[in-house]
């Protein structure tokens, strides 16, 4: 949903919902009283987390997976009361309207409407872990507190229940959240059956796209105070005036040495992020060149233990296009050489994982290796 489509009333409701805890808390309390038992009884299969640095292909993966009938994810209709999806769906249902899809703010050709899947899970993390978000950046997580694990599981069940999930069935929660790259180990321990899909894209192409999005976000935030507030309220600090990098090992030096308005900054950020991901055993790297070049939805459903879904397969095929290659050189050849070396290492690592498949021995390995 394009921000320019937000009316005065929409903006007022957004500010009311996220500007103070009271409205959100009231609706959460009502949901707990009226639907708590049903939410707790909601069956749920193994969750799927899609995560990476932005511009790797997370949105495309989300769009493809969200077509499957067994998966439930957030959509723009869940805003602004993301934390009480059952109550908000019931209250807002009478006011819902159809909307033609429009190109999203990223100007990347992806069309969105109020029913499009989107990443809103970060609202929950913001509420529970405000100390992780400083002016400098976002501190990575270790083990997750048991109380938060319960809250996240409850939120998953509530979202599924808000879509009409029936007890006895086991729909699966689907999350796209770029910041989860800093939480994989904790999430994997809290949800041992979860899957963690991490798109892997050529580092130069991704860094160039990251820089373009940051420049575009800065322009948008300078023109619209609401646009800036909106992304801040939902915890999207990837780009723009309130950009907060995740403070992986080495990022303090990157911040000191490079300006986010340079390609070198984003290449160095890519290196820090994917060096961190290289040590995460739960990651299932998906080479986006292979994924988009020879996309097979049935192979994806099989990989994730999902039943065949012909309608979803047809819709998914229409979404996927090959990723264009980038041949231009970077400003800093040493940084690019380091990034390409790490990229090659990760591709080799994923090929080995696809063959041995130690993480998920019941499946046949990722068919979309780089």
Q: What gap in Å lies between CA 192 and CA 175, rounded to an integer?
A: 16
Query: Three-class SS of residue 201?
Result: coil
The average confidence (pLDDT) of the chain is 85
Quick one: pLDDT at residue 89?
A: 84
CB atoms within 10 A of CB 283: 25
The predicted-structure confidence for 131-173, as pLDDT tens digits, reads as follows 999 999 999 999 999 999 999 999 999 999 998 865 446 899 9
Residues with Cβ within 8 Å of residue 337, at least 6 apart in sequence: none
Query: Three-class SS of residue 173?
Result: strand
Using 50, 70 and 90 to split pLDDT, how confident is the model at 128? Answer: very high
User: CATH code for 49-72+93-143+169-356?
Assistant: 3.40.50
Give the residue-averaged pLDDT of 11-32.
69
In the chain, where the domains are located: 49-72+93-143+169-356
């Amino acid at each position: 949903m394009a921000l320019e489509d937000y009316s005065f009333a929409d903006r007022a409701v957004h500010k009311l919902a996220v500007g103070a805890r009271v409205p959100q808390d009231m609706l959460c309390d009502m949901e707990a009283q009226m639907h708590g038992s049903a939410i707790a009884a909601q069956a749920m299969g193994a969750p799927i987390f899609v995560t990476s640095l932005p511009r790797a292909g997370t949105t495309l993966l989300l769009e493809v997976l969200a077509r499957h009938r067994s998966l439930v994810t957030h959509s723009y209709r869940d805003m602004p009361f993301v934390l009480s999806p059952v109550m908000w769906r019931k209250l807002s249902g009478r006011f819902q309207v159809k909307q033609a899809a429009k190109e999203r703010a990223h100007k990347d050709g992806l069309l969105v409407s109020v029913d499009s899947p989107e990443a809103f899970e970060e609202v929950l993390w913001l509420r529970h872990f405000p100390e992780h978000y400083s002016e400098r950046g976002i501190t990575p997580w270790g083990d997750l507190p048991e109380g938060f694990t319960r809250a996240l599981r409850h939120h998953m069940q509530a979202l599924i229940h808000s879509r009409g999930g029936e007890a006895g069935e086991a729909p699966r929660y689907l999350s796209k959240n770029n910041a989860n790259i800093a939480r994989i180990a904790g999430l994997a321990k809290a949800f041992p059956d979860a899957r963690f899909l991490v798109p892997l894209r050529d580092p130069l192409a991704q860094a160039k796209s990251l820089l373009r999005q940051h420049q575009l976000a800065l322009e948008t935030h300078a023109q619209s105070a609401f646009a800036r507030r909106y992304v801040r309220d939902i915890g999207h600090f990837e780009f723009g005036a309130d950009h907060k990098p995740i403070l992986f090992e080495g990022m303090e030096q990157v911040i000191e040495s490079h300006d986010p308005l340079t390609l070198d900054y984003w290449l160095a950020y890519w290196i820090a992020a994917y060096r961190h991901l290289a040590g995460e055993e739960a990651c299932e790297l998906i080479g986006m060149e292979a994924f988009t070049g020879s996309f097979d939805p049935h192979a994806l459903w099989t990989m994730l233990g999902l039943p065949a879904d012909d309608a979803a397969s047809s819709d998914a095929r229409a979404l996927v296009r090959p990723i264009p290659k980038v041949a231009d050189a970077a400003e800093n050849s040493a940084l690019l050489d380091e990034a390409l070396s790490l990229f090659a290492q990760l591709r080799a690592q994923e090929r080995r994982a696809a063959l041995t498949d130690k993480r998920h021995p019941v499946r046949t390995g990722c068919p979309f290796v780089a």
